[in-house]
Amino acid sequence: MTAEEQFNKVDEGEVITGRPFTVSRDTIQAFADASLDYNPLHFDDNYMKNKFGKTSFDGVIMHGMQNFALITRTLTDWLIPRGGFHRRLETRWLKPVQLGHTITPVVTLQSKKKTEKGYWLLFDVEVTNQDGMLVAMGNAMAEFIDVIPGKR
Amino acid sequence: MTILDLDNFETDFWKDVDKRATWDQIIPGELRDTTPVTLTKEVIARFAKGVGEDNPLYFDEEYAKTTIYGGIIAPPSIHILLMFACTTTEDWMRSPGTINAGQNWSYHVPIRPGDTITMRGTALDRFIRKDRLFAVHENSFTNQHGEIVCTGRGQTIRPA
């Protein structure tokens, strides 16, 4: 299938719900071992009793980039079988995510855009916690493309 | 060429803490000290598993060959690992209390097993807002062919 045909097969307004993710010390350890980010913010209960400027946290927090990786997975789980190529992700973290919290990314295909040489998908991203509160927002872009850049 | 060795990475982020630039010492535009790393198939598979990426595109060569990618690639989010893999224990991104405020990343050429990736990183800007110390970082990663893999901009709140 050509990029144009793949582009024509997806519809604006489609809502993609990611897999819910519950934070535990084990998930934090696994993410640290994968990302090599061993900041004490994610491990050290005593350290987290400190104030960080005006901010204080109620215990250790999940890595912000764990959220980024979960949003990426939500996008690529949907894109890869449709032949889409993940191009961009922008995120803003609104609330810290703590042990025991369950977060779920929801991505909406907000619009499709044909440019001179490209077939683009524009997504809105929201991540909510178990109480329905927004913990992260963002935007993403994907492209249908006939040849992946750099392919040999 | 340095093959990334995940098992001997320094996990104590307090080590060398006194050698790292604080917010006051960060000079916008100054390059961070980085080293290229080579990513094996095993490193890519381990990263994918660790972040919950279970698509076989990241570890199953037979499946990956049937996709538009033509072979195994790394998950796009692997720059999260490269940020620490390419920098030293004296890099300020390791400073305890560094709080991530948001990121945007743009992806071009996918990383494939055996690729050697070079990082170029700076703090392009720094500012104070609502009594917090911010750094704005810009990073780009290239492969051994000189192709751009991905570029990213992020903001962190620096420990006071």
Question: Which CATH number belongs to the domain containing residue A101 in this structure?
Answer: 3.10.129.10
Domain range spanning residue B118?
29-157
Domain count, chain A: 1
- Whether B14 is in a domain gets the answer no
A110 touches chain B (CB under 8 A): no
B146 touches chain A (CB under 8 A): no
- Whether A150 is in a domain gets the answer no
Domain range spanning residue A132?
3-144
- Whether A151 is in a domain gets the answer no
Mean pLDDT to the nearest integer, A108-119: 97
- Residue with the two structure tokens 């704005």: B136
- Whether A149 is in a domain gets the answer no
- Whether A152 is in a domain gets the answer no
pLDDT tens, per residue, chain B with 160 residues:
689 988 889 999 999 999 999 999 999 999 999 999 999 999 999 999 999 999 999 999 999 999 999 999 999 999 999 999 999 999 999 999 999 999 999 999 999 999 999 999 999 999 999 999 999 999 999 999 999 999 999 999 999 8
- Whether A123 is in a domain gets the answer yes
Question: Which CATH number belongs to the domain containing residue B150 in this structure?
Answer: 3.10.129.10
First to last CA, chain B: 37
Question: pLDDT for A25-49, tens place per residue?
Answer: 999 999 999 999 999 999 999 999 9
Taking CB atoms and an 8 Å cutoff, what residues of chain B touch A72?
53, 75-77
Between chains, do B52 and A69 touch, taking CB under 8 Å as contact?
A: yes
The ipTM is: 0.95
Interface mutation vs chain B, best among A6, A7, A31, A38, most B CBs within 10 Å: A38
The span from the CA of A140 to the CA of A147, in Å, is 20
- Whether B13 is in a domain gets the answer no
Specify which residues B152 forms β-bridges with: B105, B139
Exposure on the CB side of residue B58, measured as CA atoms within 13 A:
23
- Whether B120 is in a domain gets the answer yes
Between chains, do A41 and B11 touch, taking CB under 8 Å as contact?
A: no
Specify which residues B120 forms β-bridges with: B140
- Whether A132 is in a domain gets the answer yes
pLDDT for residue B155: 95
- Whether A106 is in a domain gets the answer yes
Domain count, chain B: 1
Q: Cβ of A25: how many Cβ atoms within 10 Å?
A: 11
Cβ contacts of A85 within 8 Å, gap of 6 or more:
A79, A142, A143, A144, A145, A148, B68
Taking CB atoms and an 8 Å cutoff, what residues of chain B touch A148?
68-70, 110
- Whether B33 is in a domain gets the answer yes
pLDDT for residue A53: 73
- Whether A114 is in a domain gets the answer yes
- Whether B62 is in a domain gets the answer yes
Residue from the list B51, B55, B76 with its beta carbon closest to the beta carbon of A34:
B51
